[in-house]
Structure 1
């Protein structure tokens, strides 16, 4: 694991940029953009509030956290104006749903103690794909002393399968190349729907995730529709499968070298 100053000259994939591309099918011209938070839509404002509230909440001492309602912390960060929302009713509807869901989630996760990573941005190189990836880890918990015992959680405003798939695969690749092991469990909470999506990485997970990230690297420029390639989840999987067949010989030739490099990766937590 390293910061961006120590990365190679490979292209850099940012998770938050890819997520925004999935949520914004058409590119916004620079002249149409507003600076900073002035140009944010309601979803971005709510995501910002969620992130800061959970960062503050999970950063508390365990005993204090169990006595402070997460709704109290969320109130400090929630948008004060409703102008970016569809209506005043929409503003209160979103607030009530997010607040109630966070309260339920924090109650169910009461056994989790101190996070080992909390709203930090990490970068690592993936030489096999000739790419660097940057990942914002909202919350990560170590379930045991083993390197592969990480539980990584992500909290998003609403359900988007492409955003979730991108996070799942980038997290697998990031953990493997930064820590030398896949995470034990990945959880994505979709707050407006009250939906939790869980991934338990298996033997084939790394290769699937490498294929997916490779596809993201090669097609980053046309995610916004600059080409005619379809960006739906089904087509992404089909393209990844095709790319896997095309690159199989190259990967096999690099296998021994990569295996040797991976074996030298230190255990992150002990």
Structure 2
């Protein structure tokens, strides 16, 4: 892989963090986070099931894939409880739509052989932007022996144009700096809507994608600064609140003592 797997010390852009940024614009405070999968919403749980199911399915020999329904594999990974969904109806509606759409997609992909990359995380350096990119490639197929013949696929739960654009541009930049060429084709499947978005990178694609990634880098840096500022201000505000509460308690204690002294009156000595 061009530039190797080692990181340069530049800021690192993770594709999954950028996706979460688009879906959750307001940063979640550490105190609001739940650890591990306990804090996942229904979309994250479904995405997890899709990822593992396709990893298992596309990892099979082509002859086996043609005999095994993808729904069977998906069932093994699908969330067993509906408590993270909006309702029981929502749970079954999402399951039926995702299962049906995956069945159609996998039938269309039966002419593809073994993927050259399957749910792997890769790193590469983009020196001119002074940034590292981390990209999870869900499935990549080599359509010919040429370096620029890669078909890269992404499977999303639902349609989000910002997430799709980010994936498109990150993939263009990543492939160029990691493999020396743009991909031949990028496909994004949005399963709940039954939508497929295709990109055919052209001669101007690389510069457009570099500009986009440069903007992403700046946006992430701004968000990190804002988060740190808010965290600092939050701590300062908490300290100030605690100090004000302590001052108020001392003031009330002094007033109570003064009131007690006035109620007793002067002490008479015999």
- TM-score, normalization: structure 2? 0.81
Q: What do the CA deviations read for 1:215-246 (whole angstroms, capped 9, x no partner)? A: 1111104459949xxxxxxxxxxxxxxxxxxx
- Which ranges of structure 1 fall in alignment gaps of 5 or more residues? 228-270
Q: What do the CA deviations read for 1:53-77 (whole angstroms, capped 9, x no partner)? A: 0000000011111100000000000
Equivalent residue number for residue 178 of structure 1: 178
- Contact between 1:188 and 1:197, CA under 8 Å: does it hold in 2? yes
Equivalent residue number for residue 207 of structure 1: 207
Runs of 4+ more than 6 Å apart: 2-5
How far apart in 1 are the matches of 2:54 and 2:104? 13
The offset of 1:2, in angstroms, is 7.1
- Which ranges of structure 2 fall in alignment gaps of 5 or more residues? 228-270
How far apart in 2 are the matches of 1:194 and 1:50? 15
- Contact between 1:188 and 1:196, CA under 8 Å: does it hold in 2? yes
Higher relative contact order (Cα pairs below 8 Å, separated by 6+ residues)? 1
- Contact between 2:62 and 2:110, CA under 8 Å: does it hold in 1? no
The offset of 1:7, in angstroms, is 1.4
Equivalent residue number for residue 120 of structure 2: 120
Equivalent residue number for residue 74 of structure 1: 74
Equivalent residue number for residue 12 of structure 1: 12
- Which has the larger Rg? 2
How far apart in 1 are the matches of 2:35 and 2:199? 36
Q: What do the CA deviations read for 1:170-209 (whole angstroms, capped 9, x no partner)? A: 0000000000000000000000000000000000000000
- Contact between 1:3 and 1:122, CA under 8 Å: does it hold in 2? no
Equivalent residue number for residue 47 of structure 1: 47
Tell me the C-alpha RMSD between the 2 structures.
Answer: 1.7
Matches within 5 A, 1:39-188: 39-188=39-188
How far apart in 2 are the matches of 1:116 and 1:71? 23
Q: Specify the SS of the correspondent of 1:6.
A: coil
How far apart in 2 are the matches of 1:101 and 1:78? 15
